[in-house]
């Protein structure tokens, strides 16, 4: 079987928070308990979108100790490959869905004397669970959360009501900016900084903290590589004895799954290595995007990670 263990769930609540973000609540369909998890974990949600099965990762934002339900918040992306639109437009209360066991690629460093959270927009979601975890274990934390406007500030009210001393909100449309350099400068020794948000914000925080002399191990960020669209291409799968077409808006992995090929996977973001596949023959150019293979592997033309990497050219034959 491919991927993390699966859980059959029922959608029990859908709450539109604002124009862009909607919250979904999942409870186990068989009435059992969900696994506990650690703050920062995500679940991969399976979406049956016509002929395509999409599997998108979303951060869990409920209390990690609450085994009765998981919640996620989905920001609508009108120009993405369609996963968030599916969640917003097609999913209804009572629907049965499949999600994965929690997977954490953005874990708290429990050695930290203090946790400094920097969130941008929908990047607030993993911190919602981490804050609940730290509140239970008397951890010390502080949140700086930048959002576009009052209207789009998901969970601002909840955070400022429950944690008025720890929460700091910045509204872009009011020209409010995190004074990052000063903020970092004032932290006690042993503080770890965590950032989740748009790529520009992640880069800014990482660079500023590094320039200020923060140790690399004390800077944490979450970066999901979503598969990118690209030119369609044809692949021959030698073991399955199939020739398949990879469409513009699907990944090679998704195309194999659509054709009923049981290809291994876990993170679907180019990081975990589970989907590594041997290339038997090719004539063309690989577009490698993963973090898993070494540079030499990328250049060798012998391996590809089908979750995020693509191909342009005449012939590609895979050992799958």
Partner 1 sequence: MTIQFNDETFRDDYSFHNSAWAIKRFPFPFHEDSYMYSVNMEQHRGGPAGSIYEKRFDVDEHYLSEMRDRAMVLADDPLRCQSLPHMTLAGWDLLELIMVSKSEDYPELFELHRDGNTWRWVNKPMGIDDTFTFLDEATLPYGPLEYITRQAQGDWCVLDQRDDNLWMDAGMVTTQADWSLDFDIGMNFFEWHAPVPLAHEKGIFVRALKFLLNIQQGSPARRLNWTMTVTPLLDTSPENYHKWGIQKTTLTPENIGQKQHLRVELQTFFRLPRSNALVFPIRAYLCSFQDLMTMPKWGRRLHRVIRDLPEELATYKGFIANRPMMLDYLSKFDDGLPTSDGIWPEFESEPPLKPSADS
Rule CB under 8 A: which residues touch partner 1? 4-5, 35-38, 40-41, 64-65, 101-104, 107-111, 133, 136-137, 216-217, 266-267, 272-274, 292
Phi/psi at 305 (5° precision): -105, 100
How many whole angstroms separate alpha carbon 252 and alpha carbon 238?
Answer: 15
How many whole angstroms separate alpha carbon 69 and alpha carbon 67?
Answer: 6
Q: How far is the CB of 220 from partner 1 (least distance, A)?
A: 9
Do 60 and 102 contact (CB within 8 A), yes or no?
yes
Q: How far is the CB of 222 from partner 1 (least distance, A)?
A: 13
Nearer to partner 1, 5 or 165 (CB): 5
Nearer to partner 1, 138 or 174 (CB): 138
Q: How far is the CB of 248 from partner 1 (least distance, A)?
A: 29
How many whole angstroms separate alpha carbon 75 and alpha carbon 83?
Answer: 10
Nearer to partner 1, 246 or 271 (CB): 271
Which residue is associated with the tokens 């919602």?
A: 128
Q: How far is the CB of 4 from partner 1 (least distance, A)?
A: 5
Do 269 and 282 contact (CB within 8 A), yes or no?
no
Which residue is associated with the tokens 């911190």?
A: 127
Nearer to partner 1, 109 or 281 (CB): 109
Q: How far is the CB of 178 from partner 1 (least distance, A)?
A: 25
How many whole angstroms separate alpha carbon 192 and alpha carbon 3?
Answer: 31
Q: What is the DSSP letter of 101?
A: P
Burial annotation 225-237 (CB, 10 A radius, 16+ → b, else e): ebbeebeebebbb
Nearer to partner 1, 20 or 34 (CB): 34
How many whole angstroms separate alpha carbon 44 and alpha carbon 46?
Answer: 7
Q: How far is the CB of 272 from partner 1 (least distance, A)?
A: 4
Nearer to partner 1, 9 or 21 (CB): 9
Q: How far is CA 50 from the centre of its chain?
A: 23
Nearer to partner 1, 202 or 316 (CB): 202
Q: How far is the CB of 296 from partner 1 (least distance, A)?
A: 12
How many whole angstroms separate alpha carbon 55 and alpha carbon 83?
Answer: 8
């Amino acid at each position: 079987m491919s991927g993390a263990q699966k859980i059959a769930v029922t959608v029990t609540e859908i709450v539109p928070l604002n124009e862009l973000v909607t919250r979904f609540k999942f409870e186990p369909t068989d009435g059992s308990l969900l696994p506990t998890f650690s703050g920062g974990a995500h679940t991969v949600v399976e979406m049956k979108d016509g002929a395509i099965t999409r599997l998108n990762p979303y951060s869990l934002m409920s209390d990690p100790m609450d085994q009765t339900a998981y919640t996620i918040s989905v920001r609508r992306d009108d120009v993405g490959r369609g996963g968030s639109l599916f969640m917003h437009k097609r999913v209804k209360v009572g629907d049965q869905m499949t999600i994965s066991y929690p997977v954490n690629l953005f874990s708290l460093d429990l050695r930290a004397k203090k946790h400094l959270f920097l969130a941008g927009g929908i990047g607030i979601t993993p911190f919602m669970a981490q804050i609940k975890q730290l509140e239970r274990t008397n951890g010390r934390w502080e949140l700086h959360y930048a959002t576009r406007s009052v209207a789009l500030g998901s969970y601002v009210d909840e955070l400022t009501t429950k944690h008025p001393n720890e929460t700091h909100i910045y509204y872009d449309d009011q020209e409010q900016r995190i004074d990052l350099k000063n903020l970092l400068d004032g932290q006690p020794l042993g503080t770890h900084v965590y950032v989740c948000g748009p790529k520009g914000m992640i880069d800014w925080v990482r660079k500023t903290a590094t320039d200020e002399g923060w140790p690399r191990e004390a800077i944490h960020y979450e970066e999901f590589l979503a598969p990118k669209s690209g030119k369609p291409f044809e692949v021959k799968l030698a073991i399955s004895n199939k020739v398949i077409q990879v469409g513009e808006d699907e990944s090679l992995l998704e195309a194999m799954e659509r054709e009923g090929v049981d290809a291994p996977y876990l993170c679907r973001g180019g990081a975990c290595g589970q989907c590594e596949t041997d290339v038997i023959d090719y004539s063309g150019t690989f577009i490698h995007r993963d973090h898993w293979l070494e540079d030499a592997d990328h250049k060798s033309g012998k391996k590809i990670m089908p979750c995020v990497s693509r191909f342009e050219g005449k012939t590609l034959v895979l050992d799958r």
